[in-house]
């Protein structure tokens, strides 16, 4: 095993025995999950420790965003059509800061995972990265009870 699965070339991966490849994958996934949890914890701590500052309405340009604090919570302030809206500044997916994303009308988009929220209500408008649909197949059971994969549905 290499110290990091990312050190393998495609050719080396294709040559690994199935059990070795599975072991490498499990190790990589454990590392990846730990790294993601750490990233989320760091983001939350950064927002919790962020400085509290006073914000004036005039400080926020039209279709602009900034943050303020309410206790230990970081709050996103967004100005749309002259009105200022306040929602949590943490994306519901992994807690990343929404103010670093993009504001398009009443919709703020997380720059990390593309999740979208309505600044008027905090409602989730899109859960994030667009997924391609996966194929579905007919399952056929033979006379001897073995299963066979049929045509795509």
How much is the pLDDT for 102? 97
CATH number of 50-126: 2.102.10.10
Per-residue pLDDT tens, the chain, 153 aa: give them.
677 777 888 898 899 999 988 988 888 888 888 888 888 888 888 878 888 888 999 999 999 999 998 888 889 999 999 999 999 998 887 788 999 999 999 999 999 889 999 999 999 999 887 666 767 788 888 899 888 888 877
What is the Cα–Cα distance from 100 to 83, expressed in whole angstroms?
20
pTM of the model: 0.66
Does residue 72 contact residue 107 with C-beta atoms inside 8 Å? no
Least Cα distance to 98 among 70, 71, 56, 67 occurs for 67
Q: What residue spans define the domains of the chain?
A: 5-47, 50-126
H or E stretch including 67? Answer: strand 65-70
Least Cα distance to 40 among 129, 113, 126 occurs for 113
């Amino acid at each position: 095993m290499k110290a990091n699965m990312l050190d393998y070339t495609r050719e080396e991966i294709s040559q690994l025995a199935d059990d070795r490849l599975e072991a490498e994958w499990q190790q990589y996934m454990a590392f990846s999950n730990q790294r993601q949890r750490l990233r989320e914890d760091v983001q939350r701590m950064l927002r919790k420790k962020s400085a509290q500052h006073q914000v004036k309405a005039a400080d926020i340009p039209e279709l602009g965003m900034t943050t303020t604090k309410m206790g230990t919570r970081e709050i996103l302030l967004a100005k749309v059509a002259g009105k200022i809206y306040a929602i949590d500044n943490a994306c519901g997916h992994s807690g990343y800061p929404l103010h670093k994303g993009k504001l398009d009308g009443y919709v703020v988009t997380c720059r990390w995972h593309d999740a979208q929220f309505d600044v008027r209500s905090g409602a989730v408008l899109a859960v994030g990265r667009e997924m391609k649909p996966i194929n579905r197949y007919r399952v056929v059971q033979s006379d001897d009870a073995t299963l066979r994969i049929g045509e795509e549905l």
